[in-house]
Amino acid sequence: MPSLTDATTAAQGGRWPSVVALALLTALVSCGGMLVDDTSGGRSGENGTGNGERSGRCVAPDARSKALVLDGVCRILTTLVDQQMIGTFELDGSFFYWTNTYEGTIERMPVGGGAATTLVRDLNRPVGIAVDRGLLFFSEFGSLSRMPTYDDGSVQSFVLDDGPSKVIAARQPGARAVATDDDNVYWATSSAVMKASKSGGAPTTLGATSLSTELVVDEGFVYWHSLEGALTKGATSGGDPVVLRRLKRSPAGSPTVRNGRVYAGTDTEGLSIPMDGGPAEVLAREPKEAPIHAVTADDTYVYWASGNLDPDVDEGGTIKRRPLAGGPTTTIVAKLGFRSGGGSKIFARLRTDATHLYFHYLTGYSLDGRLYRVNK
């Protein structure tokens, strides 16, 4: 079955009708808020309803940003990157990295914003990315001309600020999600979760999967979910993987592991699941008409993104949070609309640092990508 990358590439190249590409994509699926005087300039905030009302002292600091007052809090939503067909992104504390699948590049910029730098060029549809102690690991999905096998995919490493890239594993069909631990790099292909030493060597198969777009490695285990909805845990040392939970439908976004829990989502629920298995706690609910796209958590809150997937309904997307210990739900971002015209509107990934939430949002029939930052 074609993947997210197939759908986006083919849609842009006119190989498939946009509606078909959208259906496939659907299947896969440092400055904080500033309170300044209105007289200081800048763009006035909105009240979160999209009507453009002035919001007193909540003002965006620059043209890339938008001020929102939501649940009584000033939120500054900043567009960090605006490019076609972004594969995914990652943070390392100082920089923000992303793959541009359409252009075949990997780029970065300072977390607080600034000029983008291209680190690697001329790649074969890069998708997954991981940054680990001065090394950048990434996957190449493979060529459309090699459909349906994509057997020219690969996993590579790159020494930051030095280069060049080094092939860790060649002929990895449809390589996508990438993760690391101290010694090894892990990735998902079209059919399996793989592992190899960071220094190279023969890859090892850890388990079977289908279209896993995210992996998480934590304390000797790797976690992934499949298109069919199986949230799976496998030991990094090998052995039979264990299904922690069979989710109701296609899972939302990437699992997050914190404090002995795995946070994941279905189309209508955000879940907290014990790492060793057991009953799940439902932390978030959304209607089927505006399903959950992605879930993440920090030490205090669970965050989830949701929105209507109908290409003809311009309701935009929403990000909310609630305390892990229980309490009221707060809206962080509301009514993210189409970039231009109709088409898809999908949150592909959520990530947090100490002060901000970062997310990847796809919009429009051409599946243009934007990477955003908003103060938590």
Residue range 34-67, pLDDT digits in tens: 333 222 333 444 433 333 334 458 999 999 999 9
Query: Structure tokens of 256?
Result: 């997050």
Q: How high is the pLDDT of residue 278?
A: 86
Q: Are strands 317-323 and 368-375 parallel, antiparallel or unpaired?
A: unpaired
Query: Structure tokens of 5?
Result: 């990358």
Q: How high is the pLDDT of residue 140?
A: 95
Query: How far is CA 55 from each of CA 23, 37, 295, 317, 334, rounded to the nearest angstrom?
Result: 38, 11, 29, 21, 15
Q: Which of 9-23, 100-114, 350-364 has the highest mean pLDDT?
A: 100-114
Q: How high is the pLDDT of residue 289?
A: 83
Q: How high is the pLDDT of residue 197?
A: 96
Q: Where are the domains of the chain?
A: 4-30+71-375, 31-70
Mean per-residue pLDDT, 170-188: 94
In this predicted model, which residue has the larger pLDDT, 233 or 337?
233
Query: What CATH fold (topology level) applies to the domain 4-30+71-375?
Result: Neuraminidase (2.120.10)
pLDDT band at 266 (very low <50, low <70, confident <90, very high): confident
Q: What rounded mean pLDDT belongs to the chain?
A: 79
Q: Is the pLDDT of residue 285 over 50?
A: yes
Residue 283 — left, alpha, or beta (φ > 0 → left; ψ -120 to 50 → alpha)? alpha
In this predicted model, which residue has the larger pLDDT, 247 or 118?
118
| pLDDT tens track for 341-352 | 555 567 778 999
Q: Which of 135-139, 310-314, 353-357 bottoms out in mean pLDDT, i.e. has the lowest? A: 310-314
Instruction: Return the axis-axis angle of helices 18-27 and 4-13, rounded to nearest 10°.
Output: 170
What residues are paired with 155 via a beta bridge?
139, 169
Q: Which of 38-47, 71-80, 301-310 has the highest mean pLDDT?
A: 71-80
Rounded Cα distance between 15 and 132, Å, is: 37
| pLDDT tens track for 227-237 | 777 889 999 99
